[in-house]
Chains A and B, each alone.
Chain A
Amino acid sequence: MTSTACFIIVSRNDIPIYEAEVGSAAKREDAAQLHQFVLHAALDIVQDLAWTTSAMFLKAIDRFNDLVVSVYVTAGHTRFMLLHDSRNEDGIKSFFQEVHELYIKILLNPLYLPGSRITSSHFDTKVRALARKYL
């Protein structure tokens, strides 16, 4: 079952600190750029929505063709955004929660400057493994 999915983490200063194509479909160059563009365009919607609710997981907030954007906001206003075509909401929520834990572990590293790019390959491997498991 092939699925397209693009995952980015945006810090509170609106700087993307991590991005990954985690779908199991074949990756095409133009599709990757389009996915990133759609995700960044959805940021405004996230801003408005984030202040209206105190929940962390904002479900599907935007659609583009048949792709849906789901967002998870942490207390420090870091946004995890996922562009996907599946409808598996529980799986996506669990995915976000596990990535949140991984993100906190990265933050606990005293040598990591909050708001800078996440370059750890370990983190990258784990996120991709989680994506295969939950998406």
Chain B
Amino acid sequence: MGREVSESCIDSLLTVMVSTYCNRFYANKPELAARRIEAIGYQVGHQLSERYTMERPRFSDHLEAIKFICKDFWFELFKKQIDNLKTNHRGTFVLQDNRFCWLTRMSIDQSPENGTSEELSIMADNKAMQSMHLYFPCGIIRGALSNLGIPCAVSADISNLPACSFVIE
């Protein structure tokens, strides 16, 4: 279990995966494409969490598991930890990553001063495409937490690139 792949390969693989699912497999059904990508992420998260928890003792409660996701798990995946963790102590957690590695290669759209309707619809399309790329990491987090015994729903929010926050319920 020790072979390595370059990071740019993973970046390219994810970009191609999203574009294939959106444009070729489920061309006019973005919800189905999103569900498939999230399901792939779920299985990957499940497997990775099993693998990364092998060495360490088990978790005693939900907060410990979320902290593991923020620190060790994120570190193994992206070589950095989650920058900010917020909770409302009633089961909702917000994980904020200020420089989400898979989004760093995406262009940041500057909103035009007096946007025509055409430009605005193009921007809306771009936003939709960007959100497609987030289904995979959401699936990874959901798979990892489900394996640790915490059923949840994960959604992502990219109001300001390259920062990205994941909301876990």
Contact = CB atoms under 8 A, between A and B. Distances in A.
A75 B148 contact: yes
B107 to A, nearest CB: 32
A105 B57 CA distance: 20
Interface string A94-135: 000000110011011010001000000000000000000000
A105 B147 CA distance: 16
Contacts of B60: 54
Q: Is the interface of B mostly helix, strand, loop or mixed?
A: loop
A76 B53 contact: yes
Interface in A35-73: 50, 54-56, 73
Contacts, number: 51
A76 B53 CA distance: 9
Interface of B: 1, 43, 46-47, 49-51, 53-54, 56-60, 147-149
Interface residues of A, number: 18
Contact of A55 (B1, B49, B57, B149): B57
Contact of B54 (A50, A77, A101): A101
A18 to B, nearest CB: 15
7 contacts: A54-B57, A54-B59, A56-B57, A75-B49, A101-B54, A104-B50, A110-B43
